[in-house]
Structure 1
Amino acid sequence: MSISNLQWNEHTLAFLPEKAVWVKQQRLLLIADVHLGKADHLQAHGIAIPSDDERANLERIAQLCQRWQPAELIVLGDLVHHPKAVSSELEARVVALLESLNCPITWVEGNHDRRRRLGQLQGQQSQSRHGLWLSHEPEQPPEGQLNICGHLHPVSILRQASDQMRLPCFSLVRSIPRLVLPAFGCLTGGFPADRSSEQWVVADETVLPLPNGSPQRRGWRRRASSKANKAR
């Protein structure tokens, strides 16, 4: 496993290949856009899709918390896909997982999961934490703070001749400043990241910075092709 680090003021932000951010000094683990219940929601609308990804999402959360032992797990919105999309069975599994984690959990409300509860856990408003402005949708942060959010499901588009790859990425726009996390969930899809942003792509078990923030840089392909091909 290989991670990339970003130094922002007094914070060391580690970009993890599980599509999460580790804030070293405060021991915060950040994820966004899990979209639990999306498989059931699609099935209810006539789209045949297996539900195995729900179990995989929950297992990845448990494994991350076991590995990093965070002081707090913070979910930046869209923990669930739709207020009515979570079956009673899935809700019971989610509640059991959250209760088993050995850390407090903060759930910042997203546009998909407003007014939703999971056991004792309820969504909260955007908030400041140690100079980091945590939100679901992109927001203008208070002066001197870095907005960390989800919602946009950013991906980098890598091209070489007629070949093209779409890889989830962490996207940083320093002028705002704003860091957008890739979607954590398995069934989330993605949209092109801001072209002006610095981007770190997730390929297999590696997070790699794109040179000069350019998703079209040809030389990068030779460096990452063996790992990226596995992730397609």
Structure 2
Amino acid sequence: MTSTPKACRVELAGQQIELLPDPALWWPAERVLFIADLHLGKAATYRALGQPVPSGTTQANLARLDRLIDRHAPGEIVFLGDFLHAAQARTSQLLAAVEAWRDRHPALACTLVRGNHDSRAGDPPASLRIGVVDEPHPVGPFAACHHPQRQPARFVLAGHVHPTLKLHGRGRDSVRLPCFVQEGDQLILPAFGEFTGGWRVDAAPDRRLYAVGGDAVWKV
């Protein structure tokens, strides 16, 4: 029996938002999903360089996207940069898998805010019907960005740094988890993609951390 994922509800820019454990951000009033750092093809890029890294990450990422779409029925997904990892990721196998994913959701609007990896990998093929824009991209009261930054009059949603935190248990026990990071009028999303690594974020007086573990998100 599969448990129901537990989102963490927060208010950002006067809007009720859900931080999802997939991880993603859900804006229910406008039916928009925000997803950061998919990095499709990262493992394939490393394998092309002769590194013995796991395969199957692309299908795992796309399957998680399918589950999110089935659960929330969004009208739009906004990708906050780094959709493809590198030019080496543009293999016929990967592009065919992404085409098949897109064909499963033909009515879904998709927008990519270009990130630093997108500038090297190139824009997604036109056949994927993904609109491509530069940051900051206004979405209601939000500025959809890839790089963390400040934008006047808008609340920034960003990615890029793949934030994680370290929780300590008894003795020397500890665990490292992806996290959402809020600082002022900015929220940084954890990386959605498998095999992406992360940057450790420490607690600070003006910083709110939301850990992602299993099927839940909670404030730390």
Same fold (TM over 0.5): yes
Corresponding residue for residue 124 of structure 2: 117
- Could you tell me which of 159, 162, 166 is aligned with 1:157? 166
- Residue type of the alignment partner of 1:105: C
Tell whether the 8 Å contact from 1:39 to 1:51 is kept in structure 2 after alignment.
yes
Provide the alpha-carbon RMSD of the alignment: 1.4
Q: Which residue of 1 aligns with 2:199?
A: 191
Partner of 1:44: 48
Distance in 1 (CA, whole Å) between partners of 2:12 and 2:81 is 23
The residue number in structure 2 matching 1:215 is: none
Q: Contact 1:11–1:24 at 8 Å: present in 2 too?
A: no
SS of residue paired to 1:157: strand
**What is the TM-score of this pair, normalised by structure 1?**
0.85
For 1:45-84, what aligned pairs fall within 5 Å after superposition? 45-84=49-88
Match of 2:33 in 1: 29
Structure 2 counterparts to residues 1-232 of structure 1, below 5 A: 1-101=5-105, 102-114=107-119, 115-118=122-125, 119=127, 120-121=129-130, 123-126=132-135, 127-143=137-153, 145-160=154-169, 161-174=171-184, 177-193=185-201, 195-196=203-204, 197-210=207-220
For residue 80 of structure 1, what is the amino acid of its counterpart? L
Take 2:162 and 2:149, find their aligned partners in 1: how far apart are those partners? Answer: 15
Please say if residues 77 and 150 of structure 1, whose CA atoms lie closer than 8 Å, have aligned partners that are also in contact: yes
CA contact (8 A) 2:39 2:196 kept: yes
Q: Any idea what the Cα deviations from partners look like across 1:46-78, whole Å, max 9, x if unmatched?
A: 111222111110111111111101111111111
TM-superposed deviation, 1:194: 5.3
SS in 2 for 1:64: helix
Instruction: Decide whether the 8 Å contact of 1:36 with 1:86 is kept in 2.
Output: no
1:14-54 Cα deviation digits (max 9, x unpaired): 01110000012111111111111111111111111222111
Q: Normalising by structure 2, what TM-score? A: 0.89
**Residues in 1 aligned to 2:57 and 2:92: alpha-carbon distance in whole angstroms:** 17
Runs of 4+ in 1 over 6 A off after TM superposition: none
Amino acid at match of 1:38: K
Q: Structure 1 residues 76, 194: closer, same or farther in 2, change over 3 A?
A: farther
Shift of 1:132: 0.2
Distance 1:209 1:195 in 2: 12
How many aligned residue pairs are there?
Answer: 207
Q: What secondary structure is seen at the aligned counterpart in 2 of 1:112?
A: helix
Q: Give the C-alpha shift of residue 10 in structure 1.
A: 2.7
- Cα deviation 1:72-114 (Å, max 9, x = unaligned): 1111111111123221111111122123213100011111112
Cα distance in 1, alignment partners of residues 90 and 132 from structure 2: 15
Percent of residue pairs identical = 33
Distance, in Å, in 2 between the alignment partners of 1:141 and 1:7 is: 18
Q: What is the CA-CA distance between 1:178 and the residue it aligns to? A: 0.8
Distance in structure 1 (CA, Å) of the matches to 2:13 and 2:147: 23
Q: Which whole-Å CA distance do the structure 2 matches of 1:83 and 1:99 have between them?
A: 23
Deviation at 1:166, TM superposition (A): 0.7
Structure 1 residue runs of 5 or longer lacking an equivalent are: 211-232
